[in-house]
Structure 1
Amino acid sequence: MPRNRTLRNRFVDAPGSLGERFRAARWERFRACFPSIADLRVVDLGGTADMWLRAPVAPKHVHLVNLEAHPSDLPSWITGAVADVTDGSVVEGLGTYDLVVSNSTIEHVGGHVQRQRFAAAIDRLAPMHWVQTPYRYFPVEPHFLAPGFQFLPLAAQAKLVRHWPLTHSRPSDAREGMRAVIGIELLTRAEMRYLFPASRLISERVAGLTKSLTAVRGER
């Protein structure tokens, strides 16, 4: 494993890492919001089978919708589709579910208009939702684990990401560096409230600072 991946793994991916502890606490909040999760049909926008296979809770069924292909050996309670839910015709074809789950996806869909379409798809697909996204004003940018990274000009981000040791996958040239950063737009509290006006907004905090925001419309 490359040195930068090993270093990043200590913070984010390894058992006992900070990232793993945050995910465990997030699952507990999720279960509190949706106590009947075992009986619910879930559509996960942007999620992966691995996340649900490692989860401490298992819904009745999970349908994954992503732009990337899913594994061919999914268990019977997980299905997958390769689709873009900002396309209204795609949403119509997906049917309806009990709950929409989306973790760290809305900041990748591409601009405010696309985020509005994404939020509209969530409202269309299910009466309940859990939509989590990193908070723009947390001092450490979560995708690259770099302090203040999100406030730099794009050109500076594209240059830094080619050398920063905690990058998940280091770009090999300037164009790849720009591709790595240009599609990420972290959201503010005001924008989340605008996109999900009828939802409760939960703040995940670290040392008193908001790390991520989750728009929740839970069980009545």
Structure 2
Amino acid sequence: MTLDRFPDLAEMRVVDLGGTVEAWERAPVRPAHVTVLNLTEPGESASDSIVAVRGDACEAVPVLAAAGASTSFDLVFSNSVLEHVGGHANRSRLADSVHALAPRHWVQTPYRYFPIEPHWLFPGMQFLPLFMKARIAARWPLAHSPSPSLERATSAALWTELISVTEMRHYFPESEIARERFLRVTKSIIAIRS
């Protein structure tokens, strides 16, 4: 996230969908308040300015309300989560959460048509049939999170669906869709509403 897009970040109340407390504790600029919502391990913070809530980002408003956390923020931040929520219906629900929580957002996801699948660092893996993805996920040594069994590798492959610019525009129709590039090739896409 760039400060030129959000120069007042240090004064903002931010909700991070899918992030970790640790990432915000290491951030070069820390917002006035951060709520981290993560399905598995948001982490813990000794700081009153960072609140961790465990729950589904696709159901962010009711989950945050049930936890006694705020449901109104200045900015929604989400980095590499949209591709892991489980299909179009859940991506739509996540986008609805983003729109409901704040007037501004920064939502990044790896680009489907980048030649190397970023989670396994395997060329073209995102275009292969599931049985091949699972076998690669189970054996490929460069995986972001290696899978100890074929069953777990299949699950990891099923939970990872890279999306296109057209899909991103559908989920965030009033946002600018920015492109992160590597060697002039689009690597990631970002829905930005500043």
- Give the TM-score band, short-chain normalised: over 0.9
Tell me the alpha carbon deviations over residues 109-152 of structure 1, each in whole angstroms, 9 at most, x when there is no partner.
11101111110110000000000000000001111111111111
Identical positions, percent = 45
Gaps of 5+ in 1: 1-26
Q: Which amino acid aligns with 2:75?
A: L
Partner of 1:15: none
Q: 2:75 aligned with 1:99, yes or no?
A: yes
**Which residue in the other structure is 1:133 paired with?**
109
* Number of the residue aligned with 1:117: 93
Runs of 5+ consecutive residues of structure 2 not aligned to the other structure: none
Aligned to 1:43: 15
* Aligned mate of 1:145, from 121, 124, 128: 121
Post-superposition shift, 1:192? 0.4
SS at 1:161 equivalent? helix
Give the distance between the partners of 2:88 and 2:139, measured in 1 at CA.
30
2:141 equivalent in structure 1: 165
Report if the CA contact (8 A) 2:61-2:101 is conserved.
no
With the length of structure 1 as denominator, give the TM-score of the two structures: 0.82
1:60-71 matches, within 5 Å, as 60-71=32-43
Return the letter of the residue paired with 1:75. S
Task: Give the Cα–Cα distance (whole angstroms) in 1 for the partners of residues 113 and 14 of structure 2.
Answer: 30
Root-mean-square deviation (CA, aligned residues, Å) is 1.5
Q: Tell me, yes or no, if the aligned pair for 1:91 and 1:125 is still in contact at 8 Å.
A: no
Q: In the alignment, which residue of structure 2 is the partner of 1:33?
A: 5
The separation in 2 between residues aligned to 1:139 and 1:70, in whole angstroms, is 31
Greater share of helix residues, 1 or 2? 1
Judge conservation of contact 1:47–1:66 (CA < 8 Å) in 2.
Answer: yes
Q: Which residue of 2 aligns with 1:80?
A: 52
TM-score relative to the length of structure 2: 0.93
The alpha carbon displacement at 1:86 in A equals: 1.9
* Secondary structure in 2 matching 1:47: coil
Number of residue-to-residue matches in the alignment: 190
